[in-house]
Structure 1
Amino acid sequence: MPELWAAERCITVPAGNNLLDSLLAAGIAVPYSCRAGSCHACLVRCVRGELLDAKPEALDDARREQGWRLACQCRVVDDVQVEVFDPLRDGVPATIISCDWLSADVLRLRLTPQRPLRYSAGQHLQLWTDDAIARPYSLASLPSEDTWLEFHIDCRHGGAFATAARAFQPSDSLRLGELRGAALHYDPDWQTRPLWLMAAGTGLAPLYAVLREALRQQHQGAIRVIHLAHDQSAHYLAEPLRALAASYPQVQVELWVAAELPAALAELRLVSRQTIALLCGHPGSLETFTRRLYLAGLPRSQVFADAFLPHAG
């Protein structure tokens, strides 16, 4: 059986075993979340030997050349040595400058990194607490306008990071992991096309950044912003969105609640087959949105989606 070296230990595992499962079974702490190769919480660096990687495209070429792999997507097929991502060694230090509640369940977190971070509207970033609790969150800030990094933390359903976030205070420190995500973005070539931004819950965070980026680039087409929440009190960016709609005549804001969703979807009509739709939120909500857009006649190639996967651990 292959030997797996990690955390200064040697573990014998059956050939073909999942790397993440093998590490966890041996008591080696590895953060993980989605188990689908999306969140990148389970990053490890392969320093000797090689792994069978089921999803090599999940990491860019530069990361792979440095030896980084996603433990949830790899199987141990031969002797191998790995290093678990260490936020103290591999992460970027950041300081919380403010944390305030936008609603009963959504915490707005603003922080400044120790060194400048190059990012685009729509991307997401791995956040680590000092206790090595990790979770990816989308950026709601805009690099051209904001001097901080902003995140909207949904604390409604708990989870280790959300629970820790409730105790955050200004001046507390965090570590930043991998920056990724390209599905949600603004393309200047879309400037005259209708743009639909459809969000569920805190899926609104990256789309709020994309909206501001589109307006910064003087988008000329109509922009329709739809936010789905469990009730009216959960429309946590209602006022900022209404303010943008009041300032930009091409922006239309619709605030939907779950009980009204079937009726609202039934009335959804395309004004143009040139529409571009950006979707973000829980997978179930995105599936519902996508199905209705398809039935309305929108080509799948014009739908860009980023699902907020539930915590698997």
Structure 2
Amino acid sequence: MSSITYGGQSYQCKEHETVLDCLTAHDVTIPSSCHAGLCQTCLMQAVKGAVPANAQAGLKPTLAAQNYFLACACHPEDDMEVMLPQSGIEKLTATVTAIDALNTEIVSVQLRPETSLTYKAGQFINLYKDSTTVRSYSLASVPEIDEHLLLHVRRLPNGQVSHWIHQALKIGDSVEISDATGDCFYTATDLDQSLLLIGTGSGLAPLYGIIRDALAQGHRGTIKLYHGSKAVESLYLSKELESLSGQHGNFVYQPCVSGSTVPRGFASGRAHDVAIKENPDLSGWRIFLCGHPEMVSSGKKLAFFAGASMRDIYSDPFLIMDKNPATVC
């Protein structure tokens, strides 16, 4: 059993616990969001003790060299003394310029950063409600097309940040955000490659950005989008996507409904099942999966077994921490 020292206090870390688990169990508040080593919100720095290599996966080499690590991914092998970073993740101030309802559950939030933010459509940023309450949201905006950052925020039960955004955030408010990160975005490496994009719920956000980015860069290959939900009312941006399909002959939009009532023009079934059924041979395709973690996991396997290379499968699972309602987005 290792000892974790933070703020002058030492805590015993159980064998199965991460540094974040240990500190949280002792009522120490550490900024965190995904609990999966993706968003880097729980970045900490080791003052003493060795940092396991897997706790630094995905960090910039300059941060790893300074003993920064992700608390949610760190299973300590020895005693450690840790602290919150004095620097590392730079916060930017942004102004809310628009909030619009996309359906009864999801709003579109536009943000104007005070300083320039370099990003690619489909990456994500962290949005801070306060110093310790933060969540990650994917970017639906395209820097060459959209003037402001664009997020799609679904209101979730017990979601501290999503409820704040839906109920309290106003146009003109200032918020803090992080730089953009993530590798789920389009690159113009092969303009003739076929693209398959599968999303559920607000997982459409990064896909909407990726599609518009690909088309703006002159992508010539087939682009197919399957967006799914249990009920047709939960789908959104249908008119915009149908219009985009009408303007670009290589773009196909297929809405999917897995519930009992399926209107004409909608595919019946889960989006990833429909997508694989209609495209059984994905050899040479590039795949993007965004939304519910179970869909993303299942979709990866189905795409791989259908012939897609793992290096051509990009994903953005929208993680929901059901075991702790306080951490739900």
User: Would you call these one fold, judging by a TM-score over 0.5?
Assistant: yes
Distance 2:308 2:52 in 1: 38
| Partner residue, 1:213 | 213
Structure 1 residue 308 corresponds to structure 2 residue 314: no
Q: Which of structure 1's runs of 4+ aligned residues deviate more than 6 A?
A: none
| Partner residue, 1:197 | 197
Identify the range of structure 1 (121-130 vs 30-39) with the bigger mean alpha-carbon deviation.
30-39
| Partner residue, 1:261 | 269
Structure 1 residues 250, 158: CA separation in 2 closer, same or farther (over 3 Å shift)?
farther
| Partner residue, 1:10 | 9
Structure 1 residue 275 corresponds to structure 2 residue 276: no
Distance 2:292 2:114 in 1: 32
Q: Is the 8 A contact 1:47 1:83 kept in 2?
A: no
Show CA shifts across 1:74-119 (max 9, x none). 24422413126799x9522222111121110011111112211111
Amino acid at match of 2:212: R
| Partner residue, 2:81 | 80
SS in 2 for 1:256: strand
Q: Is the 8 A contact 1:93 1:173 kept in 2?
A: yes
Q: Which of 282, 288, 307 is matched with 2:298 structurally?
A: 288
Identify the range of structure 1 (287-296 vs 211-220) with the bigger mean alpha-carbon deviation.
287-296
Structure 1 residue 171 corresponds to structure 2 residue 172: yes
Structure 1 residues 79, 290: CA separation in 2 closer, same or farther (over 3 Å shift)?
closer
Amino acid at match of 1:31: P
| Partner residue, 2:34 | 34
Amino acid at match of 1:261: G
Shift of 1:201: 1.2
SS in 2 for 1:233: helix
Q: Is the 8 A contact 1:265 1:292 kept in 2?
A: no
Shift of 1:22: 2.4
Instruction: Specify every segment of 5 or more residues in structure 1 that has no aligned partner in the other structure, as ranges.
Output: none
Distance 2:193 2:80 in 1: 53
Show CA shifts across 1:178-215 (max 9, x none). 53211x22121220121111111111111111111111
Distance 2:303 2:80 in 1: 48
What pairs with 1:106-255 in structure 2 (closer than 5 Å)? 106-130=106-130, 132-166=132-166, 167-182=168-183, 184-255=184-255
| Partner residue, 2:97 | 97
Q: Is the 8 A contact 1:194 1:275 kept in 2?
A: yes
Structure 1 residues 67, 300: CA separation in 2 closer, same or farther (over 3 Å shift)?
closer
Structure 1 residues 47, 147: CA separation in 2 closer, same or farther (over 3 Å shift)?
farther
Identify the range of structure 1 (256-265 vs 194-203) with the bigger mean alpha-carbon deviation.
256-265
Identify the range of structure 1 (40-49 vs 129-138) with the bigger mean alpha-carbon deviation.
40-49
Structure 1 residues 156, 231: CA separation in 2 closer, same or farther (over 3 Å shift)?
farther
Amino acid at match of 1:29: T
Q: TM-score, normalised by structure 1?
A: 0.88
Show CA shifts across 1:45-99 (max 9, x none). 3345443353322312133234431111124422413126799x95222221111
Structure 1 residues 168, 66: CA separation in 2 closer, same or farther (over 3 Å shift)?
farther
The count of corresponding residues between Structure 1 and Structure 2 is 310
Distance 2:174 2:119 in 1: 20
Instruction: Specify every segment of 5 or more residues in structure 2 that has no aligned partner in the other structure, as ranges.
Output: 260-267, 325-329
Q: CA RMSD in A?
A: 2.6
Percent identity, aligned pairs only, is 27
